[in-house]
Amino acid sequence: MFLVTRNINKTLTKTLILTYIWEAEPGDEQMTQVLKGTDILYAIGRIDGLAAQLRADIGRATASAGVDVPVAHLPLLVHLGMHGPTPPTVVARALGITHPAVNYLATALKRRGLVAVYKEMRDKRVRVLALTRAGRAAFDQVSPVLDGLSIALRGLRDSDGADIIEAIDGFHSTIAAHGIADRYFDQMTDDDSSDVRILPFARALVPHFRALNREWIEAYFTLESSDHAALDSPEATIIGPGGDIVFVECEGAIVGTCALVFHDASRAELAKMAVSPSAQGRGFGRLLGEAIIARARAAGFDILFLESSTRLLPALSLYANLGFRHVERARSSGYERADVYMELDLNRSA
């Protein structure tokens, strides 16, 4: 039992818990032929088609066994069945998905009475997810089906001569290490490199720090008291206590900014990252993030953390690519909008 379920669980995770641009039908050759001239869209179409076929096959097999659990929810069910009660952040790392995605799956399984949320005995601040008695029964019911499907997948590999799981893992690792968008931004940055500079803090640049941040905050949220304190007096609230602010200049114009906020001798915060809408999509956010990370390391901090919102999906993707990981929040936030907390271990990532 479970000799190969781990592999199919990894495949499910990487192909099912995604936001698709479209739902391609398996074998939709007309669509793929139309897209073949645009490699990136063609790749998405083929991958989506494969994912749809896998979902359909797994759904048929589990339904025939009387398993009443959506295919997209199986990775969490199987993980908890194999590893027992687990904090959401640990599940997210194990499955390779975001913390909000884990919360979504947990809520869906909780509605079905398959998952419950508890407080950890040793630390009441930490939540853990665990299977209920019904969840355990569902796991026991679906396990032999997934094992059988894994054997079938292995047979396909043996007959075709290609290790499908190894190929998927290799492609995923390559993209995770340096994604297509990262490569695109690298190209754009290389094209602009002669006209782009990271500038240190200067009093004359404070109006840009204020205007760039007010623009994005007011577009999505409402300015809070903590915003006013940082934007109205950045020298007193950020620079004076030992923090820093950097700016990115392109062709003589300030198009972005980001702050490093001191908290204590070992912890600092990446905050107030803003890029002008007209300059977005050119890799400036990554340049700002890398500049702040470099300054945090040089200052001797151990942990760099940030707070964000699930409404800011492009920003969350950037932070993940910079190495930040979702972890349980140890203290309350100073912002009502902040429902995401991420950390970067500066020692481990150095």
pLDDT of residue 342: 95
Quick check: 195 pLDDT over 90?
no
User: Across residues 48-72, what is the average pLDDT?
Assistant: 89
Quick check: 129 pLDDT over 80?
yes
Query: End-to-end distance of the chain based on CA atoms, in angstroms?
Result: 40
- CATH number for the segment(s) 5-177: 1.10.10.10
Quick check: 348 pLDDT over 90?
no
Instruction: Please work out, in degrees rounded to the nearest 5, the angle formed at the alpha carbon of residue 219 by the alpha carbons of 216 and 224.
Output: 75
Q: Give the pair of three-digit tokens for residue 202.
A: 């200067």
pLDDT of residue 186: 65
pLDDT of residue 162: 61
**What predicted TM-score, i.e. pTM, was given to this entire model?**
0.51
pLDDT of residue 16: 41
| Superfamily covering domain 193-345 | Gcn5-related N-acetyltransferase (GNAT) (3.40.630.30)
User: Across residues 183-192, what is the average pLDDT?
Assistant: 61
User: Across residues 212-239, what is the average pLDDT?
Assistant: 95
Name the residue with higher pLDDT: 158 or 5: 158
Q: Give the pair of three-digit tokens for residue 80.
A: 């908890």
User: Which residue from 196, 174, 170 is spatially nearest to 185, judged by alpha carbons?
Assistant: 196
pLDDT of residue 158: 52
Quick check: 188 pLDDT over 70?
no
Q: Return d(Cα 310, Cα 103) in angstroms, integer.
A: 12
Name, in order, each residue with C-beta under 8 angstroms of 32's C-beta and a sequence gap of 6 or more. Answer: 24, 42, 45, 46, 49
User: Across residues 29-50, what is the average pLDDT?
Assistant: 67
Quick check: 101 pLDDT over 60?
yes
Quick check: 13 pLDDT over 60?
no
User: Across residues 284-295, what is the average pLDDT?
Assistant: 95
pLDDT of residue 278: 92
Using only the alpha carbons of the chain, give its radius of gyration.
23
What are the boundaries of each domain within the chain?
Answer: 5-177, 193-345
In the 8-state DSSP scheme, what is residue 25? P
Least confident of 14-23, 66-75, 182-191, 260-269: 14-23
User: Mean pLDDT of all residues in the chain?
Assistant: 83
Model confidence at 259, pLDDT cuts 50, 70, 90, reads very high
pLDDT of residue 5: 43
